[in-house]
Amino acid sequence: MNEPTPVLELRDVRKTYRLPHGQRLRAVDGISLRVMPGEMLGLVGESGCGKSTLGRCMLRLDDVSSGQVLFEGRDITTLSERRLRPLRTGMQMVFQNSTAALNPRRSIGDLLAEPLRVHPAADGRRRSAAAIAARLHELMALVGLPASALARYPHAFSGGQRQRINIARALALSPRLVVADEPVSALDVSVQAQIVNLFADLREQLGLTYVFVAHDLAVVRQISTRVAVMYLGAIVECGETDTVLHTPAHPYTAALTAAVPRPVVGAPPAMLLRGDVPSPVNRPAGCRFHTRCPQAQARCSAEEPALRALRPGHEVACHYPLPPA
Amino acid sequence: MPADRMPLLDVRDLCVSVPGNGGMIPLVENVSFCVNEAEIVGLVGESGSGKSVTAMALMGLIDSPGVQVRGSARFRGQELVGMPAKALRTLRGRDIAMIFQDPMTAFTPVYTIGWQIDEQIRAHERLTRRAARARTVQLLAEMGVPDPARTAQRYPHQLSGGLRQRAMIAMALSCRPTLLIADEPTTALDVTVQAQILDLLRGLRHSHGSSVLLITHDMGVVAQTCSRTLVLYSGRMAESGPTTTLFARPAHPYTAALLDSIPPLYGSRPHRLPAIAGVPPTPRERPAGCAFGPRCAYVHATCLPAPPALAPIGAGQLAACVLPAEGTPLPPRTIAQGMQP
């Protein structure tokens, strides 16, 4: 088969944290996933579902407990920091808290120049000061900030501008893969749209591959080609964005989309799920969603459903998937 | 106005300003609205729009040095602005209660949830501990808290975010207030839990006869809960009116642009979102004339000399914009937010 190499591939990745009293928190519980070049994958789920941990594991900002992480076909699961460093130029992260991600005592120019000083240029040599300065101006233009911003400090910028700076820093080394963890959720709606558009523009200009970790389904729909829905550490549904969001096969996805308060007066009322998400320390046996599932049957509490293809490109982990509308 | 038609809360020209820049900086300017019996009114705006400051001023909870609160806020005809602290204190908690975004900071971590709700009840009513606890357990049950007697014995950190928010609403309702001010009550919650809490708030009108002033930044939350809505921009009212009208025919370009910049969950997906350029001004740097002017697609000479006055558009709708008076009102919205397929 002549399939292109995935930019990112996860094979049965698990991340377990040991807690006091011998307890274990399974933050990521056996996830396999492929992200193809040019794809924009939205990773959605509620707080505590493990989506941020998974995002960090993808870039090996966290080590996985078991399973494999492949970047452009190369296994990076156990690569040493030294061997990993050259690969880091190809994969970068944008964090949610744009303030915490920027050192308040360093100017924007200084912050953006750091990755360019640490990593050698493509020819293996250190970048000259002139080359770095030229790249900084390019980056500012790319994210829509004036070059005068380089001399200023993070406090002088609004939340949206700070997120632009974070994006510029992530792009400094021309990565192929960008993982963005809730990049717009801390922003006001009017500013959020600007950053969502910026992500779309950058993908067109630079041919990037994205993974968006987010909880806002409408934002995810706007910037993703494919969506993976997580619940308690596992992917419960995955497929093309509008297929998953508009004709969900998993009852959890259906509940999640129905719960979004839509800015439309007279939209159908939300289907209410009972209770809260259970703790990932004591996750339910059988299907992890059965304690809140309106469709749960006896089999669901006993046997864990595997993620299987419902039709090509649409996978679901449910014994009784919902019929297509 | 006859007494029975008097709004529960009638706010007129409320202004809040703090000292700075060698003068007074207005945080909230001439905000007027009313809340009727058993009604949910939404107060929407982005961060820094003055929505929380408005609520805090109503509750007499702003104690920043040199702060000035002017205007009028009548609760059942009683003036809240300038009310002596002691009188306000009796009113607060008993007749007007407030819930906050983060229940973790509203509860003290060192006492159980039940203890704190009991205390609130006993501060306003002469009840035995046992009777107060019985009321607490009943309230928690009404708020949909499972196993309420046991939950009452738990500490705030032992509860999930959704349960803590339910407990806080139970505490706010413990003295059967007629007005509940809810400041971003679901912002910290997941959507499936948010849907439960919004359902609870909608039900309060019938179950407890309470009115709600709901403060939020989320237009979706407003559409699903509020009968009337007030849009604030940079401390001033941009627009107010029935929620249905506001969403279908916004009269202020800010309201329209805000609605358009929300990505749609259904319907066709725009190639680019119609974003609003720039950022909202801080109260210190508010531009002359219309505060939205520098970001407005329709800005022209008449917008600049002074902030446009709030003018009636029709059917209870008001907008602080010069366009309707100039005979060039905004077109009705083409609904990008398609309904469910």
- Among chain B residues, the shortest Cα distance to A254 is held by B192
Helix/strand/coil (H/E/C) assignment for every residue in chain A: CCCCCCCEEEEEEEEEEECHHHCEEEEEEEEEEEECCCCEEEEECCCCCCHHHHHHHHCCCCCCCEEEEEECCEECCCCCHHHHHHHHCCEEEECCCCCCCCCCCCCHHHHHHHHHHHCCCCCCCCCCHHHHHHHHHHHHHHCCCCHHHHHCCHHHCCHHHHHHHHHHHHHCCCCCEEEEECCCCCCCHHHHHHHHHHHHHHHHHHCCEEEEEECCHHHHHHHCCEEEEEECCEEEEEEEHHHHHHCCCCHHHHHHHHHCCCCCCCCCCCCCCCCCCCCHHHCCCCCCCCCCCCCCCHHHHHCCCCCEEEECCEEECCCCCCCCC
B265 CB neighbours in chain A (<8 A) are 217-218, 221, 245, 257, 260, 262
pLDDT above 70 for B2: no
Q: How far apart, in whole angstroms, are the C-alpha atoms of residue A258 and residue B191?
A: 9
| Owner of token pair 């849009």 | B231
Phi, then psi, of B128 in degrees rounded to 5: -75, 160
Question: Cβ contact (<8 Å) for A270 and B199?
Answer: yes
**Sheet containing B228-233: which strands, arranged edge to edge?**
B96-99, B179-183, B211-216, B40-44, B228-233, B236-242, B317-319, B311-314
Under 8 Å between Cβ of A316 and A322: no
pLDDT band for position B1 (50/70/90)? very low
B44 CB neighbours in chain A (<8 A) are none
pLDDT above 50 for B289: yes
B259 CB neighbours in chain A (<8 A) are 263
B 180-199: CB under 8 A from A = 190-196, 198-199
User: Which residues of chain A carry a pLDDT beneath 70?
Assistant: 1-2, 325
Count of domains for chain A? 1
Q: pLDDT, tens digit, for every residue of B102-115?
A: 777 789 999 999 99
Flag whether A214 is in a domain: no
**Of the ranges A45-59, B10-24, B92-106, B200-214, which one carries the lowest mean pLDDT score?**
B92-106
Q: Which helix (H) or strand (E) holds B133?
A: helix B129-142
Q: How far apart, in whole angstroms, are the C-alpha atoms of residue A181 and residue A213?
A: 5
**Of the ranges A159-163, B203-207, B316-320, which one carries the lowest mean pLDDT score?**
B203-207
Flag whether A59 is in a domain: no
Question: Cβ contact (<8 Å) for B248 and A259?
Answer: no
B 24-83: CB under 8 A from A = 46-47
Q: How far apart, in whole angstroms, are the C-alpha atoms of residue A323 and residue B148?
A: 38
The residue length of chain A stands at 325
A190 CB neighbours in chain B (<8 A) are 46, 257-258, 261, 275-276, 279-280, 295
Q: How far apart, in whole angstroms, are the C-alpha atoms of residue A154 and residue A29?
A: 37
And the tokens for B269? Answer: 């997906």
pLDDT band for position B240 (50/70/90)? very high
Q: Find how far residue B171's CA is from the centre of its chain.
A: 19
Strands (E), chain B: 9-20, 23-35, 40-44, 68-75, 78-79, 96-99, 179-183, 211-216, 228-233, 236-242, 311-314, 317-319
Coil, helix or strand at residue B87? helix
Under 8 Å between Cβ of A166 and A102: yes
**Closest to B186 in 3D by CA, of B196, B176, B171, B173:** B196
Give the pLDDT score at B13: 96
Coil, helix or strand at residue B325? coil
Give the pLDDT score at B4: 56
pLDDT above 70 for B337: no
> pLDDT > 70: what percent of chain B?
96
Q: What is the mean pLDDT of residues B319-324?
A: 94
Q: What is the mean pLDDT of residues B314-332?
A: 91
Flag whether A119 is in a domain: yes
B 102-121: CB under 8 A from A = none
Per-residue burial over B255-272, b = 16 or more CB atoms within 10 Å of its CB, e = otherwise: bbbbbbbbbbbbeeeeee
Q: What is the mean pLDDT of residues B299-307?
A: 92
Give the pLDDT score at A2: 67
pLDDT band for position B193 (50/70/90)? confident
B192 CB neighbours in chain A (<8 A) are 46, 255-256, 259, 273, 277
State which residues form the domain around A117.
100-172
CA distances from B255 to A47, A264, B229, B261, B330 (A): 30, 14, 11, 10, 11
Flag whether A160 is in a domain: yes
Q: pLDDT, tens digit, for every residue of B134-191?
A: 999 999 988 888 889 999 999 999 988 888 988 999 999 888 899 999 999 888 788 8
Flag whether A111 is in a domain: yes
Q: What is the mean pLDDT of residues B263-277?
A: 90
And the tokens for A12? Answer: 């049965």
Flag whether A125 is in a domain: yes
Complex ipTM > 0.90: no
Q: What is the mean pLDDT of residues B304-330?
A: 92
The answer, for B275 touching chain A at a CB cutoff of 8 Å, is: yes
B247 CB neighbours in chain A (<8 A) are 263-265
Flag whether A138 is in a domain: yes
Give residues with Cβ within 8 angstroms of A2, minimum separation 6.
none
Angle at A77 between CA A74 and CA A79, to 5 degrees: 80
Question: Cβ contact (<8 Å) for B46 and A190?
Answer: yes
Give the pLDDT score at B133: 96
CA distances from B97 to A20, B87, B100, B120, B183 (A): 40, 15, 10, 11, 11
Q: Find how far residue B300's CA is from the centre of its chain.
A: 31
Q: How far apart, in whole angstroms, are the C-alpha atoms of residue A7 and residue A38?
A: 9
